[in-house]
Amino acid sequence: MLAASLVTRRVLESRQVRRSLSAGRRAAGSGTGSALSGGARVVCVVPMYEETALAEDTVRFWRHALRAKTVDSVVLVTTVKETASGGASTHTLLREVLAAGAEDHEDLVLLHCQEVCPYRAAQLDMAVAWARDRFASADEANELWIGVYNADSRPHLDTFDELRSAIGAAPGVRVFQQLVDYVVPDREGTGAVAAGNAVLQTWWTLSHYVARNERGRRGDSLWSRTSPFSTFGHGEFIRADFLQMIGGFPRYAYADGLLLGWVARLAREPIGLLANRDVAEVPRTGRDLVLQQTAWLRGLLNFGVTVEWCREQNLLRLPATEVSLLKARHLAIPVAWGLSTAAVATGIVAEVHRVIRRRSPAADLAAMAALAAYPVIPGLVATTQQQRAMGRGRRVAGVLASWPMEGLAFWPALYGHVRHGQQAPAKTPR
């Protein structure tokens, strides 16, 4: 029964992945090159904390985006929390790199946040304040949009054309999330686990996230209205008046990306979907992967806290039944994530035991093969150019190394949540 249900799940996921890939190819070829011709002003914000390895490349990418006239401004925001130890800080490096291209100073801005906050929300809010001042007329007309990216984000430049088209087609939507292709970092110290993690994260995005978002936007039933999805914290776009309504980026718990999307859901705000990709890096090592996944899972356990916060801020717009079902379905995600590894491993061991003890093991062998195939199937399908280049053997080997580590991360996350421990490390590794 377990084997049959898991194989069925993978088949359905494969169908959704193919649909998402087709939509992405259509979106990537639909750019008009006129991103700055509309009324909307788009300001991209990149919070930077201990990003010395990526500083120069980040500036190079966003300079290219500005010269292509895809966005109006880019704001890089460092923080006083970072102290230089044995070398230049991220802020110092960025200042030096920007000085070498002074012609971009009006549209490519470096800010330094002096507010000490456990999370990056203070950096994001500082950039929003700058954008409101710079584009005051757009802000007053509800045409100012804030895009959030990480230092390793390299979004497809057609993203911003697609965003403006989506704004025109759905003027009532104030939050958009674009899809993400996860890639292996081209930096020293990257291990085999990274290849598998890139495969699995991209697979999840193209299958589960897309399906949940589309179902939720339909909203034609209680089940669809309580589809569990949110924003990611990168590749997200928020209209400034929505941020003003909720008091800025959430800072009451870890993972502002998840929190922002949950607040939107609880306030009955739709989250639009953009098919163009943000290309983002995965953690380089197994240790970094467990730390990152633990932090993410800990963030997923904060949905109940978000409900209470929305209630206190008078932002809760959903009936009690929908809130309760949303709570249950969001809780099911990390629990299933944590239990799936143990369930599949236990199932394989049980089937092996049956094969050894029985004389007619055909059915047991089939069940064992199905269970073993469950983590492997995503590695058989290349969903990005990098995955095609790495080959099927490397993808499958990477998945087999990465998949059990992702499941293990649930247990320290649950322990920390129950004990009300630290929400997340000072910096989530990638």
For residue 427, pLDDT over 70 is answered with: no
Overall average pLDDT of the 51-63 stretch: 95
Q: How far is CA 358 from the centre of its chain?
A: 46
Amino acid 420 reads H
Q: Are residues 398 and 256 in the same domain?
A: no
Query: How many CB atoms are closer than 10 A to CB 7?
Result: 17
pLDDT of 247 reads 96
Residues 386 and 275 in one domain: no
Domain boundary among 269, 287, 320: 320
Tell me which of 319 and 338 has the higher pLDDT: 319
Q: In this structure, are 120 and 99 located in the same domain?
A: yes
Domain boundary among 320, 342, 357: 320
- CATH code of the domain covering residue 202: 3.90.550.10
Between CA 185 and CA 155 the distance in angstroms is 15
pLDDT tens digit sequence for 191-207: 889 999 999 999 999 99
Last residue of one domain, picked from the residues 320, 345, 363: 320
Q: 248 and 374 share a domain?
A: no
Q: Give the residue among 413, 6, 412, 386 at the shortest CA–CA distance from 197.
A: 386
64-73, 104-113, 205-214, 300-309: segment of lowest average pLDDT: 104-113
Predicted TM-score (pTM) above 0.85? yes
In a domain, 27, yes or no: no
Same domain, 299 and 367: no
Within-domain flag for 16? no
Q: Give the residue with greater pLDDT, 290 vs 261.
A: 261
Indicate if the pLDDT at residue 167 is higher than 60: yes
Q: Calculate what percentage of the chain has a pLDDT beyond 70.
A: 92
**57 Cβ neighbours under 8 A, 6+ residues apart:** none
Within a domain: 7: no
- Closest by CA position to 179, among listed 229, 220, 129: 229
Q: What does the H/E/C string look like for 340-395?
A: HHHHHHHHHHHHHHHHHHCCCCHHHHHHHHHHHHHHHHHHHCCCCHHHHHHCHHHH
Tell whether 228 and 357 lie within a shared domain. Answer: no
**pLDDT band with cut points at 50, 70 and 90 for residue 176:** very high
Pair (272, 383) in one structural domain: no
Summarised one tens digit per residue, pLDDT across range 233-257 is 999 999 999 999 999 999 998 889 9
Average pLDDT, the chain: 89
The verdict on residue 425 lying in a domain is no
Mean pLDDT of 259-267: 97
b/e 255-287 (16+ beta carbons within 10 angstroms → b): bbbbbbbbbbbbbebbbbbbbbbbbbbbbbebe
> Is position 162 within any domain?
yes
Q: Is residue 273 part of a domain?
A: yes
Q: What is the tens place of the pLDDT at every residue in 294-316?
A: 888 888 889 999 999 999 999 99
Q: pLDDT at residue 32 above 70?
A: no
CA–CA distance, 430 with 419 (Å, rounded to integer): 26
* Domain range enclosing 314: 38-320
Mean pLDDT of 365-378: 84
Does 136 lie in the same domain as 78?
yes
Residues 300 and 342 in one domain: no
In a domain, 26, yes or no: no
| 395-416 pLDDT per residue, tens | 999 999 998 888 777 777 777 7
pLDDT of residue 420: 65
Among the residue ranges 90-99, 319-328, 350-359, the one predicted with the least confidence is 350-359
Radius of gyration of the chain (CA): 22
With contact defined as beta carbons under 8 Å apart, do 230 and 257 qualify?
A: yes
User: Do 301 and 170 fall into the same domain?
Assistant: yes
Same domain, 75 and 212: yes
Res. 372 pLDDT band, cuts 50 70 90: confident
CA distance 279 to 150: 10
The answer as to whether 89 is a domain residue is: yes
54 pLDDT above the threshold of 80: yes
310 lies in the same domain as 331: no
Predicted confidence (pLDDT) at residue 28 exceeds the cutoff of 70: no
- Domains identified in the chain, total number: 2
**What is the edge-to-edge ordering of all strands in the sheet holding 108-113?**
108-113, 73-79, 41-47, 144-148, 236-239, 175-183, 271-281
pLDDT: which is higher, 75 or 21? 75
Q: Is there a contact between 287 and 266 (Cβ–Cβ < 8 Å)?
A: no
